[in-house]
A and B are shown apart, each in its own frame.
Chain A
Amino acid sequence: MHISEGILSVPILISGGLVTTLGTYIGLKKIDPEQIMPVALLSSAFFVAGLVHVPLGPGSVHLMLIGLLGVMLGWAAFPAILVALFLQTLFFQFGGIAVLGVNTAIMALPALCCHYLTRPWIENPKTRPAAAFIAGFLAILLASFITSCALALTDTGFTAAAQLIIAANIPIMIIEGCITMFTVGFLAKVQPEILYPEYA
């Protein structure tokens, strides 16, 4: 969900930049030495996932894994997404440098929301699969909403933009729900330590 350069107004670009700066600052503060490698791993996964296009629905959509990043990283999702987005801009011309702040906020805020909303249920083995699916699904839905808001605040009508973006991203919501569910389930089996609250 990358907004291209030349669409958003300057106040939105600045607000996005401020949110991202704040989030990244808190995220970096919260990363402790044991977490550095998982953060880098998930950042790499996000970086590469953006290249996997899903040829379903009306628009041009790709995987983002933001639900997974949110569940696993919490605030650290901000620096992880920022770095990956910067490299995507540099290597693949996704989005742009000026919209980097907004694009990071669009994807990191839903990640953070999903972290706080679903984390308690993820830690419980019974509710884990459902909670992980919801995290993956909800993250994309929230990101679609925030993107629509950003576009609506500039010029396009909110309803029109939201309909377009959500319709295009429905396949992604379902796919990411499944990916998050299986990945979290897999990690809970092979690496249960990383699902404990102290980790986040």
Chain B
Amino acid sequence: MNSSHILPPQKTVLLVAVLPLLFLVSPPAHAHKLNVFAWGSDRQIYGETFFNGGRKAKNITVQVQNAESHSLVLTTQTNALGEFQFTLPQQVVQQQLDLLVSADSGDGHRGEWLLEASEYLGPESTTADPSTALMNTVDTAAVREIVRQELKRELIPIKKDLAERQEKKVRLQDILGGIGCIIGLAGLLAWFQAKKKTSTGSYKT
């Protein structure tokens, strides 16, 4: 190695400092992941898919599997807004299966969401229609059921929001931490090579 190829230290430091900073000031950083989440009541399930940063995953395949046996329950597609919905088969509802909803965009991105049976089934969904029961007499069980259904509906946006918040946002300290790790590794490599140099008396080129 010719010594003229050695980078002057000040130029190297400048390059190291400037290049990554160029990216920090460019458009807002988004992670790169396909997110899925699903919610529902009784047999009707709704869901949404999006890439981190909010970009909708349009017209992609969504598979619904039994979360334990991984047997396929049904397959559906997202619409142009990245949303999907399907009706669960009667037997799935009866068996109270936990469902694994997975979306695959076909280009190597994949996301999953576990939809537990308790989330789409009311615990007393087999009772008689609560509204008719209420007509006859004030039935606490029926009132409870109505409240539960209303609450479930009201909680959907909150659940959606919580699911979205679970996604880790890219933070500046992560980026700087990553760059720090790389520089640290470079230092480690330089140290090993310097040790080799002192033991052999010259650089290995």
A residues bordering B, Cβ < 8 Å?
A: 1-7, 28, 31-34, 36-41, 43-45, 47-53, 55, 58-60, 62, 83-84, 87-88, 90-94, 147, 150-151, 156, 160-161, 164-165, 168, 190-191, 193-194, 196, 198-199
Contact = CB atoms under 8 A, between A and B. Distances in A.
B182 A51 contact: no
Interface string B30-70: 11111000000000000000010101011000000000000
Interface in B8-46: 11-12, 15-16, 19-20, 23-24, 26-27, 29-34
Given A2-B32, A33-B194, A191-B7, A41 B168 contact: no
B106 interface: yes
Assign chain B's interface to a size class. 35 or more
B7 A38 contact: yes
A50 to B, nearest CB: 7
Given A51-B29, A87-B178, A196-B5, A45 B19 contact: yes
B189 interface: yes
Nearest to B188: A36
A90 B178 CA distance: 9
B6 A34 contact: yes
Contacts of A196: 5
Interface string B75-117: 0000000000000000000000000001011111111100000
B175 interface: yes
Contact of B1 (A53, A160, A198): A198
A44 B189 contact: no
A37 B110 contact: no
Contact of B7 (A7, A34, A91, A164): A34
A193 B26 contact: no
Nearest to A195: B5
B183 interface: yes
Nearest to A47: B178
18 contacts: A2-B108, A4-B34, A33-B203, A34-B6, A37-B7, A37-B186, A44-B183, A53-B29, A60-B109, A62-B32, A91-B175, A92-B33, A160-B106, A161-B107, A165-B107, A191-B7, A191-B11, A193-B5
